[in-house]
Chains A and B, each alone.
Chain A
Amino acid sequence: MTQGTPGTSPQSFRASLRLESQCDFDSIRQSTRLIRSFLSERGLQDLELDAWELALAEAGNNAVEHVMPENRNIPIGLDVSCDERDVEVRVTDHTPGFDWPDEVELPDPTDEGGRGLFLIRSLTDEAVYLRARDQNCLVLRKQRSGEVSLAQPTVETLQTRLAEAETALTEMTDELASCYESLTTIFRYSAGFGSSQEILSFSKNLLADLAQVTQADAVVLRIANTGQSQLPATTTAPERFQGMVAPASLLSDTPSFERDAAMNRQDSWFDPDTQLSDQDPLKPLGMALGICHPCVSNDQLVGTITLCRNAPDHPFAAAQLSLLHTFSDFLAIQIVNTRLIEERLRTGVTRRELEIASEIQRTLLPANVPDRPHLTVAASCLSAREVGGDIYDVIPIDSSCLFVLVADVMGKGVPAALFASVLRSTMRSMAHLHRQPGRLLTAVNQLLHDDFSRVDMFATAQAAYVDPSRGTLLVASAGHCPLLLWTPGNATAEAAGDAGLPLGIEQNAVYEATEVPFPPEACALLYTDGLTEARNPQAEFLGQDRLAQWLAETASKSDSARAMQSRLLNQLGVFRSGSRNTDDETAVLVRHLP
C-alpha cells in the first residue's frame, strides 16, 4: 500500500517520511500506524503520538470519504517532516475540496458525524487547507512538547543550519523572480488587449511566453472550429512541432486526451503512469508528461492548451498550472473578442449589400408610369424589408392600350426579391402575349415551373390588358387577390375575374382571361394581399370590402389615378395609425378618362 522514503540528514535532527496511501480506510489506518512509529522513533511522547495518530486518521479518512470517483486510484500523499521543535504533515487529497471554516464548531451531541475537522483543529497548532484544481493539501503543524534530548548545537550544526537557510533563501528568490516574470508577461498582454490583433500571431507569442514561464518543452494550442466538431492544431511552441500534431476531432472515437479535456471541461493529465494511447494525436511529440486545459468562455468551448515535458520525473508545479489557466483565460477572451468584431463587420457588409439590392429593385420597377390619352395610371410599392417579393409593371401597347401586372412571390426578403425580378423579366419578354393575359400566365407558368419547383417557391400574379377605345378590360389571375373594378353609378367596387392556381404549382395549368366592361370614368385597382391584410392598432384587417368601399368613394371625389392613389394611401395611413407594415404592399390604379 505504501512506499516509504524515510530520510534524516546526519548533521541536523530533521527527518522526513513520505508515504503514499491507497484511497481506502484500511490503507489510511496502516499509514497512520507507520507515521506513529516513525514519530515515536523521533522521541515524541505518547500523548503527542495519540494526537498525531488521531489527527492524521481524521484527515486521511476525509480524503477517502470525499474523493472524486475518477480519482479513486490516485494515492493520498502523506508527507511527514520532523525536527527538534516541530512536526509538520502534509496530506494531499484528490477531493473537490472545501472551504476550511474560520471557526470549527462541534455538531449537536446526537449527530453521529461531523467531528473530524474539530478534532484536527484541536489536536494541532496550525491547520491550513490549500486548494488547487485537482488536488488539495492539508498542512498540519504542531510544536513538540517537552525538551528534546539534544546536546548544545555544535559549530558544525550551526554552520549546516546557516547553509540550509541560505539555500532556502535562494530558492525563495528564484520563485519570486519567476513570479515577477509571469506578472510582467501578463501585464504586457493586458496592455495589448484593446488593439485589434490577428489571432494567430497573438497566439504564437502567447504560446512562446507560456512555454518559457512554465518551463514546458512543448505547448500545443487547438482552437475549436465554429461548428465545435474539430480541434485543429492551431499553433505550437516551439513552432517546429506543429507539423507533427494531427487534428483532434470532437466527434470521432480516436482516443485523444485533449478531446477528453475539451468534452469534460476539465484539465486532463498524462504521465508515465497514465500514458497516452498510441493513436493519440499528441503521441508523435514523444513527451513524457503533460496537462491539457480547456479554454472555455461563456460555456462555449474555445479550444485547448496543452503543456508537455520530456522529463518524466519533473511534473508541473501548482504555480505553473495557475499560469496556464491565466494565459488560457487571456487567450479565450482575445479570441472571443476578435470573433465578435468580425461578426459585427460581416453584419455591416450584409446590411450594405441589402441596401444595394433594395436600390436595384426600386430601379427595376417602372420609374414613370406612362399615361395614355384616355388612361391615367398610378403605382406604389412598399416593401416590409429592404427588398421584397412584390412587383408590378405597366407597359404601353399601341397608342392607347396598357398592359398591367401585379405579382407577389411567396416569402419576403432577398430570395423572394430575386425570383420577383426573374418573373418580371419573363413577363416583359413575352410582348406578343400582353394582349392575352390568360395565355401569358399559362406560358410563363410553363416556362418557370421547373425553376419555381427547384427552389420550392411559387408566386401569385394578376395581369390585365386595358383597351379604352373598346371600353374593356381583360383580366387573368394566378391565385392572386381579385382585381377591384368600379364603374360609374355603383356604391362600391366589385371583384373581377377568376382566381386560378398560383404560378409554379401545376406545370400544365391553363389560365383563362375574363373580359369585363371598362367604360369612361371606370377604375381598376390591382394590388397584393399585403394591402388588404394591413391592420389597425386593434389588429383588424383592412379587408377587401373596406378597400372596395374606399375605391368607390375616392373615385367619386377625384379624377386622376394619382390623386386617387394619394387619397387611398392617406386613408390607409389613418387606418393603420402607426402600426408597421409586415408584408409588402403594392397597388396599381388605372382610370379611364372620358
Chain B
Amino acid sequence: MKITPVDPKTVEVSGLLELVAANTATIRDGIRAALPETCVQLDIDLSQIGFLDSSGLGALLSLHKTLRARQGSVRLINPTQQVLQILELTRLHRVFEIVKNPS
C-alpha cells in the first residue's frame, strides 16, 4: 500500500491488494494516521485489489465518515469488477463517489 499526499487537501492511496477481515484494521488506521489535518479529499485506488469483503467495506465507510466530518469525501478510483459487484449488492455505490478513469 502506498499513501501519497498529492497536495495539502488531497491524499491518494494505491497499491491495495486485499481489504479483508485479516488486515482492515491495520490499513484503516494506517491511512487515517497518514491524513494531514488539511486533507478533505481521499482517493483510494482499487484497481489492483484482488478481494474485498464486508469488513473491507466497513473500513471504507469508516474513512468516509472521517472525511465527511471535515466536509470532505472519499473517492474510489477504478474499482475492480468484484469490488463494484459488492458495492452494488450492498447499495453503497451511491454513498461513495466512484471514478472510472481509463488512464
Contacts and interface: CB of A to CB of B under 8 A. Distances in A.
A119 B86 contact: yes
Given A25-B21, A112-B61, A118 B53 contact: no
Interface stretch (A49-57, A144-152, A584-592): A49-57
Interface stretch (A103-111, A191-199, A200-208): A103-111
A224 interface: no
Contacts of B59: 112
Given A25-B22, A29-B21, A115-B57, A57 B62 contact: no
Interface stretch (B7-15, B32-40, B41-49, B87-95): B87-95
B92 A54 contact: no
A118 B86 CA distance: 11
Contacts of A286: none
Interface in A327-366: none
A119 B85 CA distance: 11
A109 B65 CA distance: 11
Contact of A61 (B18, B55, B89, B90): B55
B82 interface: yes
B4 interface: no
Contact of A113 (B18, B58, B85, B95): B58
A29 B85 contact: no
Contacts of B86: 54, 119
Nearest to A122: B89
A110 B86 CA distance: 16
A119 B82 contact: no
A310 B36 CA distance: 66
Interface string A7-37: 0000000000000000011101100000000
A119 B91 CA distance: 11
Interface in A113-139: 113, 115-116, 118-119, 122-123
- The A interface, classified by DSSP as helix, strand, loop or mixed, is helix
A564 interface: no
Given A109-B92, A118-B90, A64 B54 contact: no
Interface residues of B, number: 24
A288 B90 CA distance: 48
A116 B54 contact: yes
Contacts of B61: 109-112
Given A29-B20, A64-B21, A113 B90 contact: no
A26 B55 contact: no
Interface string A43-66: 000010010011001100100110
B90 A106 contact: yes
A123 B82 CA distance: 12
A174 B90 CA distance: 45
A106 B58 contact: no
B34 to A, nearest CB: 20
B54 A113 contact: yes
Given A109-B95, A110-B61, A110-B65, A25 B54 contact: no
Chain A CB within 10 Å, residue with most, of B20, B54, B57, B95: B54
A50 to B, nearest CB: 5
A29 B92 CA distance: 23
A26 B89 contact: no
Nearest to B92: A109
Contacts of A25: 20-22
Contacts of A61: 21, 53-55
A100 B40 CA distance: 40
A497 B85 CA distance: 106
A110 B51 CA distance: 22
B21 A28 contact: yes
Which of B51, B57, B91, B92 has the most chain A CB atoms closer than 10 A to its own CB?
B51
Contacts of A106: 90-91
Contacts of A50: 81-82, 85
Contacts of B90: 106, 115, 118-119
Contacts of B91: 106, 109
Contact of B55 (A24, A109, A113): A113
Contacts of B62: 112
A123 B88 CA distance: 12
Interface in B53-97: 53-55, 57-59, 61-62, 65, 81-82, 85-86, 89-92, 94-95
B42 to A, nearest CB: 16
Contacts of A110: 61, 65, 95
A57 B20 contact: yes
A61 to B, nearest CB: 4
Contacts of B55: 61, 113
B95 A57 contact: no
B53 A54 contact: yes
Nearest to A65: B21
Given A54-B86, A106-B91, A109-B91, A115 B54 contact: yes
A112 B51 contact: no
Contacts of A122: 89
Interface string A61-94: 1001100000000000000000000000000000
17 contacts: A25-B21, A26-B22, A29-B21, A106-B90, A109-B91, A109-B92, A109-B94, A110-B61, A110-B65, A112-B58, A112-B59, A112-B62, A113-B55, A113-B58, A115-B57, A118-B90, A119-B54
Interface of B: 18, 20-22, 51, 53-55, 57-59, 61-62, 65, 81-82, 85-86, 89-92, 94-95
* 10 tightest A-B CB contacts, nearest first: A25-B22, A112-B58, A25-B21, A115-B54, A57-B53, A61-B21, A26-B22, A50-B82, A112-B61, A109-B95
Given A25-B20, A50-B82, A115-B90, 18 more contacts: A28-B21, A29-B18, A29-B22, A50-B81, A54-B82, A54-B86, A58-B54, A61-B53, A110-B61, A110-B95, A111-B61, A112-B57, A112-B61, A112-B65, A113-B54, A116-B54, A119-B54, A123-B89
